[in-house]
Amino acid sequence: LIILHRDLIRRKALGNFRDLLLGTARSPAMLYYLDNYLNVAEHPNENYARELLELHTLGVDGGYTEDDVKEVARAFTGWTVHDGTDDGFIFNPDVHDFEQKMVLGHKIPAERGIEDGLHVLGLLANHPMTARYIAYKLCVRFVSDAPPDSLVESAALQFIVNNGEIAPVLRHLFMSAEFQASAG
């Protein structure tokens, strides 16, 4: 599973961020590691929801609330694993929470299924705090442990204007004076 997850990340890393989020959300390695394979309507499991908000998208200071974590967990009920599918993922509607949800101030209508999780991934991938958080992480990785705010903001703008495409953000970073001046 780890090798499949690593290969998924390698394939998606320079593409669209939403595609990367979707791929990891469906990854059996992620579903097992964060217990989402056990996430059912009667007992929503918040592990994946918290990781998605805190570490993958908005960041710890990204403006989400504890209620958002709970609602995101409800949106991903029924996302589980199945050995009989090509990618090891299956959506099980029998354990999904079909009630209305509210995530980051956005209403997710009732009576949908897998679309709830897809809706959340779209909200997060297109959120300005996600753009800033991803830009910050890339700047730390490639420029400095304490990157200038101006570079983070300009990289975040590249993320936004390119609809979450990672390659233009990296191109922007690698062409920046800050990158050129960074040691190593």
For residue 156, what are its two tokens? 């975040």
The 3-state secondary structure of 143-169 reads: CCCCCCHHHHHHHHHHHHHCCCEHHHH
Report the predicted TM-score, pTM, of the whole model to 2 decimal places.
0.93
**What are the tens digits of pLDDT across the range 136-181?**
999 999 999 999 999 999 999 999 999 999 999 999 999 999 999 9
pLDDT tens column, 91-132 = 999 999 999 999 999 999 999 999 999 999 999 999 999 999
Distance CA 32, CA 48 (A): 10
Element (H, E) at 93: none
- Per-residue pLDDT of 40-85, as tens digits, reads 999 999 999 999 999 999 999 999 999 999 999 999 999 999 988 8
Contact 53, 69 (CB under 8 A): yes
- In the prediction, which pLDDT does 9 show? 86
184 has pLDDT over 70: no
Q: Measured on CA atoms in the order 100, 115, 22, 38, is the torsion positive or negative?
A: positive
